[in-house]
Amino acid sequence: MDINYLVVEGNIGAGKTSLTKMIAKEFGARMLLEGFEDNPFLPKFYQEQDKYAFPLEMSFLADRYNQLNKHIREFELFSSFVISDYYFVKSLIFAQNTLSKDEYKLYHRFFNIIYDRIPKPDLFVYLHVLPENLLKNIRKRGRDYEQGISMKYLSQIEKGYFSFFKQQPDFPIVLIDTNQADFVRHDKDYRKILGIIFDNDHRPGINRFILSE
């Protein structure tokens, strides 16, 4: 299928940024990466979630909007292949699990104002990894502020993504189960993912694939 704007998403530790970088390098694509490591609220949030959840989510909302609005609009002018390791709706999915009821109601109002202005991807790829495997990946990469992430939190984020998928008719969503594969270490697994993404005519809604060894 003809893909100009590709999104690679997934839960924390799923490998979305790694896959984004690999595809961008291979195809010479323009790459949009979320700058979460520069967010000053993130380490504080993992230490005191109730206190820092709202400023964290609002800062992410603003940063994601500014980056996507700037770079995707430029993409429309130059018509090049763009790949991103996040989609704007990620803001809402995480906010559902971090904010209080009143905070979320206010946050949702800001989100709705912005969302319709964000370009929609030609294809949305979601790397599905079980929470227990996500925890292994998180511990392996060793970011100090992530070590307190719980299985429960990862499961809640996963449910948020799946709920979004069920309500999304506007563009194709390719859900790839990568629990039995390692596309970073094994080129054959990476090539299988490329085949799934680029060699199929995906329909709007959920398209499921299992990447086996």
136 pLDDT more than 70:
yes
Average pLDDT, the chain: 90
Domain that holds residue 19: 5-210
In angstroms, the CA 34 to CA 36 distance is: 6
207 pLDDT more than 90:
yes
Q: Tens of pLDDT along 175-188?
A: 999 999 999 999 99
Looking up residue 133, the CATH number of its domain turns out to be: 3.40.50.300
pTM for this prediction: 0.89
- Predicted confidence at residue 198, as pLDDT, reads 95
Query: Average pLDDT of 90-112?
Result: 93
* Stretch (H or E) spanning 88: none
Q: Which two tokens stand for residue 126?
A: 């979601």
Catalytic annotation, pick one of 2, 38, 63, 85: 85
Q: Tens of pLDDT along 43-100?
A: 888 888 889 999 999 999 998 888 887 776 666 545 578 999 999 899 999 999 899 9
Cα 108 to chain center, whole Å?
19
- Predicted confidence at residue 79, as pLDDT, reads 57
Non-local (6+) Cβ contacts of 142 within 8 A are none
- Predicted confidence at residue 194, as pLDDT, reads 97
Active site residue 85: yes
Q: Which two tokens stand for residue 39?
A: 């967010």
- Predicted confidence at residue 80, as pLDDT, reads 75
Q: What does the CA dihedral 91, 92, 97, 101 come to, rounded to 10 degrees?
A: 130
Q: How many distinct structural domains can be found in the chain?
A: 1
Spell out where the chain has E strands: 5-10, 30-32, 82-84, 123-128, 172-177, 205-210
Query: Average pLDDT of 25-32?
Result: 91
- Predicted confidence at residue 170, as pLDDT, reads 81
- Predicted confidence at residue 84, as pLDDT, reads 93
